[in-house]
Chain A
Amino acid sequence: MGRTAKAKAANEADGGTWRFPAGQGLRLDSGARLEPLEIAYKTYGALNAEKSNAVLVCHALTGDQHLASTHPMTGKPGWWDRFVGPGRPLDPDRHFIICSNVVGGCMGSTGPASVNPATGEPYGLTFPVITIGDMVRAQAMLVEALGIETLFAVVGGSMGGMQALQWAADYPDKLFSAVIIAAAARHSAQNIAFHEVGRQAIMADPDWRGGAYETAGVRPEKGLAVARMAAHITYLSEAALQRKFGRELQRDGLSWGFDADFQVESYLRHQGTSFVDRFDANSYLYITRALDYFDLAAQYEGVLAKAFQAARKVRFCVLSFSSDWLYPTPESRDVVRALNAAGARASFVEIETDKGHDAFFLDEPQLDAALKGFFTSAAQARGLR
């Protein structure tokens, strides 16, 4: 291994858990305060001398900080590995990329599985309800702790895109550009409804124990798996499901029973069972709640454009997918119109794909080309090499 390769490997291993000192708790939108606060994060690449090349990537509902490095629990590549690397839209040779686990998460940041200092027991349901705004406030604290005044970009898909929108509203001066993929400025009734199904599945599992399963030494795996199965359907388009599985059977002939006869059943069951290995049921409750509470315009008298009033200098890129029915294109269009109305510099395109909401994890050449172009021109404007 050459010296650069070694240095790069060391860089890629960068990150850890930021423990905020006593007195530096997190002020929450609910009025509560979360202390102590720990934020687990990973970084890729190096911060330049001007500290002008930092990119914060915000993860989605069940994502985590392992953006482009092997996941410690599943052994799989990072969730956006495809997107990060030399010559890719996010390039560790040019950008200092930060990805942190959201507050309320279960991959090292303070969440419902952390110990409640008041009781010495895991928080469980005594964990305060958090919001997208709280997640962003914690990220801003981390970014500041890392010595960065202005981010070159905040990038996120789905819930990550909502965080990017919240960043633009709350910290417009700390932001040079923002990329919002397959997101919305608020959760719709349908979004809330699907989340409620998931939460009820978890809470209906006898092993959930009112949220205190950790103390009881059990886990509501069945409930969490069902929640994941229901949610997973919303991430795919009908066309994608049909193309992938159709009515194909697992074995020759029907079982004349309730085994997973169809390949799509087996696939969903696998999605459910593999998910419970890496995710915490209470975190799922808290994070879905944060999403349901998200309504950016509501914080600005119902006028979304007002949320971006101070973000006129931020360069925005909004992307949606034609077959995404979870956060469909009209939601993105509303965001773009509000950005236009606020006089912000915005780009927007609906990418034609039949892969549904999850398209942002998948191979979409138009997405890559668009974002590469966006980052290149933003870098020029920012004076990055």
Chain B
Amino acid sequence: MTARREDFREILRLVKPAARVLDVGCEDGELLELLTREKGVDGQGLELSSENVALCLSKGLAVVQGDGDRDLDHFPTRAFDYAILSKTLQQMREPRHVLSELLRIADQAIVSVPNFGHWRMRVSLMTRGRMPETRALPDPWWATPNIHLCTLKDFTDLCADLTLRIDACAALSGGRPARPMDPSGVLENWRAETALFLLSKA
């Protein structure tokens, strides 16, 4: 597994064997394949790009071409044990709606978000006076797919607002193994490059 996929390693650790899993924005199906092979999950993917879906299908994965913003509404309540949304919440039109939909469809959601409060962001903005381009968010502002960026604090506020419980949280920084953290910790909003949450309804 490459360093880039440390978040997958953490997700793999969190998911219970033989669970029903929905991977929203599953891309080329790498995570679903991993989960199927190592955890024997019953996996379903949702992915926007037709090329990626065709690739997933050729690997034998069950994937629907669709849009996390529009197509979650059509899934029945509690159809899955886990709904996974890896680093794409900030690309959704309505992250709030998506988040509550994930926890309607599934008992638990695994969501990772890049932390805009990370020190690199703050330093970059403060010293350069321009939108940060960092290793976690490398695109210039006019090409970024990220339209709803937030900080760790913003995200935990939203969870509280939606009465979601944070069952587990880990920081992912620079391809290092996931580090368990308390998202309310004073320094974490500076330290965590990306945060990965296991959420359930409170």
A215 at the binding interface (Cβ < 8 Å): no
Q: Which residues of A contact B (CB under 8 A)?
A: 315, 317, 322, 333, 336-338, 340-343, 345-352, 366, 369-374, 376-377, 380
Of A349, A371, A380, the contact of B53 (CB 8 Å cutoff): A349
With A346-B62, A347-B63, A348-B64 as contacts: A374 and B57 at CB distance below 8 Å: yes
B61 at the binding interface (Cβ < 8 Å): yes
Of B42, B57, B66, B79, the contact of A317 (CB 8 Å cutoff): B57
Give the segment of B70-78, B118-126, B151-159, B186-194 that binds chain A: B70-78
Q: Which A residues lie within 8 Å of B79 (CB)?
A: 343
CB proximity of B16 to chain A, nearest CB, Å:
19
Q: Which A residues lie within 8 Å of B185 (CB)?
A: none
B50 touching A349 by the CB < 8 A rule? Answer: yes
State the CA gap A317–B63 with chains docked (Å): 9
Of A315, A343, A350, A377, the contact of B65 (CB 8 Å cutoff): A350
State the CA gap A234–B83 with chains docked (Å): 40
B59 at the binding interface (Cβ < 8 Å): yes
State the CA gap A341–B65 with chains docked (Å): 15
6 of the cross-chain contacts (CB-CB < 8 Å) are A340-B71, A347-B64, A349-B53, A351-B54, A373-B56, A380-B60
Of A315, A337, A350, A373, the contact of B50 (CB 8 Å cutoff): A350
Q: Which A residues lie within 8 Å of B50 (CB)?
A: 322, 349-352, 366
Q: Which A residues lie within 8 Å of B56 (CB)?
A: 347, 373
Q: Which B residues lie within 8 Å of A336 (CB)?
A: 64, 66
A369 touching B58 by the CB < 8 A rule? Answer: yes
B59 touching A373 by the CB < 8 A rule? Answer: yes
B91 at the binding interface (Cβ < 8 Å): no
Additional A-B contact list (6), CB under 8 Å, known A341-B74, A349-B63, A371-B57: A345-B44, A346-B62, A347-B56, A349-B50, A351-B50, A374-B57
A348 touching B53 by the CB < 8 A rule? Answer: yes
CB proximity of B123 to chain A, nearest CB, Å:
43
Q: Which A residues lie within 8 Å of B51 (CB)?
A: 352, 366
CB proximity of A176 to chain B, nearest CB, Å:
14
A352's closest neighbor in chain B, by CB? Answer: B50
State the CA gap A347–B47 with chains docked (Å): 11
State the CA gap A315–B61 with chains docked (Å): 11
State the CA gap A341–B51 with chains docked (Å): 25
Of A317, A340, A351, A369, the contact of B74 (CB 8 Å cutoff): A340
Q: Which A residues lie within 8 Å of B64 (CB)?
A: 336, 340, 346-348
State the CA gap A346–B50 with chains docked (Å): 15
Of A342, A345, A346, A370, the contact of B54 (CB 8 Å cutoff): A370
State the CA gap A338–B59 with chains docked (Å): 24
What's the count of A-B pairs with C-beta under 8 Å? 74
State the CA gap A370–B59 with chains docked (Å): 8
A370 touching B62 by the CB < 8 A rule? Answer: no
A347 touching B62 by the CB < 8 A rule? Answer: yes
A341 touching B58 by the CB < 8 A rule? Answer: no
Q: Which B residues lie within 8 Å of A333 (CB)?
A: 66
A373 touching B60 by the CB < 8 A rule? Answer: yes
A369 touching B60 by the CB < 8 A rule? Answer: no
B49's closest neighbor in chain A, by CB? Answer: A349
CB proximity of A268 to chain B, nearest CB, Å:
31
A345's closest neighbor in chain B, by CB? Answer: B62
B57 touching A349 by the CB < 8 A rule? Answer: yes
State the CA gap A338–B71 with chains docked (Å): 11
Q: Which B residues lie within 8 Å of A337 (CB)?
A: 71, 74
State the CA gap A348–B58 with chains docked (Å): 12
B60 touching A377 by the CB < 8 A rule? Answer: yes
A348 touching B54 by the CB < 8 A rule? Answer: no
CB proximity of B144 to chain A, nearest CB, Å:
25
A341 touching B75 by the CB < 8 A rule? Answer: yes
Of A315, A343, A345, A346, the contact of B76 (CB 8 Å cutoff): A343
A375's closest neighbor in chain B, by CB? Answer: B60
State the CA gap A350–B66 with chains docked (Å): 10
B66 touching A373 by the CB < 8 A rule? Answer: no
State the CA gap A170–B5 with chains docked (Å): 44
CB proximity of A349 to chain B, nearest CB, Å:
4
CB proximity of A318 to chain B, nearest CB, Å:
8
State the CA gap A338–B64 with chains docked (Å): 12
Q: Which A residues lie within 8 Å of B42 (CB)?
A: 345
Of A322, A338, A342, A372, the contact of B58 (CB 8 Å cutoff): A372
With A336-B64, A349-B50 as contacts: A369 and B57 at CB distance below 8 Å: yes
Q: Which B residues lie within 8 Å of A342 (CB)?
A: 76
A373 touching B57 by the CB < 8 A rule? Answer: yes
Q: Which B residues lie within 8 Å of A350 (CB)?
A: 50, 65
Q: Which A residues lie within 8 Å of B76 (CB)?
A: 340-343
CB proximity of A12 to chain B, nearest CB, Å:
28
- Chain B window 59-102, contacts with chain A (Cβ cutoff 8 Å), 1 for yes, 0 for no: 11111111000010011100100000000000000000000000
Q: Which B residues lie within 8 Å of A352 (CB)?
A: 50-51
CB proximity of B181 to chain A, nearest CB, Å:
35
CB proximity of A321 to chain B, nearest CB, Å:
10
CB proximity of A354 to chain B, nearest CB, Å:
14
